[in-house]
Amino acid sequence: MPQRQTSMREAILDAAEELFSKSGFRAVSMREIAQASGANLGSISYHFGSKDGLLRAIYDQHSGPMNRRRSELLNEAQRIRDPEDRLAAIVRAFILPSLSEADGSVGGGARFARLRAVVMAERHEEAQKIIAETFNPINLAFIDALQECLPHLPRADIVWRTHFLLGAVSYTLINPWRVARLSDGEADGENTQEALAQIVHAAVAAFRAPATDGAAA
């Protein structure tokens, strides 16, 4: 449930996140953000200094809670004894906060995840730095947890499959309509529950595959 905006600053943050997640960073002008939030153009500079500063503020607002959430879910998952069940729980914990529509923050985790995916693809330097700093540590924690479930696998294979998992999530957030288009509407890319079930199932199967033999390709 989105909470009421108490200040102009929050209204700007909310509008900017909405617009950036839809169209990317470069394509959205500060004028559009001003109009959507009801703020004045000058106010944005006053509160955030620059457009980059606004982007940084959006990350600051979300990355703490989101990574805390992922840590909690990872800890819960790691308590599961059975390695098969644990693997699925870890995968689920890894991506749930990115797909969940409501995670306590305004607009839900999916919007921020979509923003990250879109902005990452733009190769905006500032954004790449922020993302790497913020998400690498927690990603490495997940890789360690996966390695514990799959001790026979080379770490490189686990990294590759984790990378593919991130790619699948990112692609689904950026192009949800593609699933519907390729399936004639039978599958629905906008349906978070369906996406989560499909992606966890596919990823677990991929992780369970034996080590990749380079010559086999």
Part of the chain binding DNA (CB under 7 A), chosen from 42-50, 142-150, 175-183, 207-215: 42-50
Spell out, one character per residue from 7 to 46, where the chain touches its own copies: x when CB under 8 A holds, - when not.
Answer: ---------------xxx-xx-------------------
Q: What does each C-alpha distance from 90 to 117, 149, 150, 209 come to in angstroms?
A: 21, 9, 12, 16
- The single-letter code of the amino acid at 142 is F
In angstroms, the CA 20 to CA 78 distance is: 35
Of the listed pieces 29-37, 38-46, 51-59, 153-161, which binds its own copies according to CB under 8 A? 153-161
Contact pick of 2, 75, 183, 190 for its own copies (by CB under 8 A): 183
Q: Which stretch binds its own copies (CB under 8 A): 6-14, 33-41, 43-51, 186-194?
A: 186-194
Three-state DSSP class for residue 211:
coil
Q: Does 116 bind DNA (CB under 7 A)?
A: no
Sorted by sequence, the CB contacts under 8 Å of residue 118 that are 6+ apart come out as 20, 21, 23, 24, 25, 174
Rounded to an integer, what distance in angstroms lies between the CA atom of residue 136 and that of residue 132? 5
Q: Among 132, 144, 148, 190, which residue interacts with its own copies (rule: CB under 8 A)?
A: 132
Q: Which does 168 bind (CB under 5 to 8 A by kind): DNA, its own copies, none?
A: its own copies
Q: For residue 80, state whether it binds its own copies (rule: CB under 8 A).
A: no
Q: Mark out the alpha helices in 1-107 (DSSP H runs).
A: 8-23, 30-37, 41-48, 51-78, 83-99
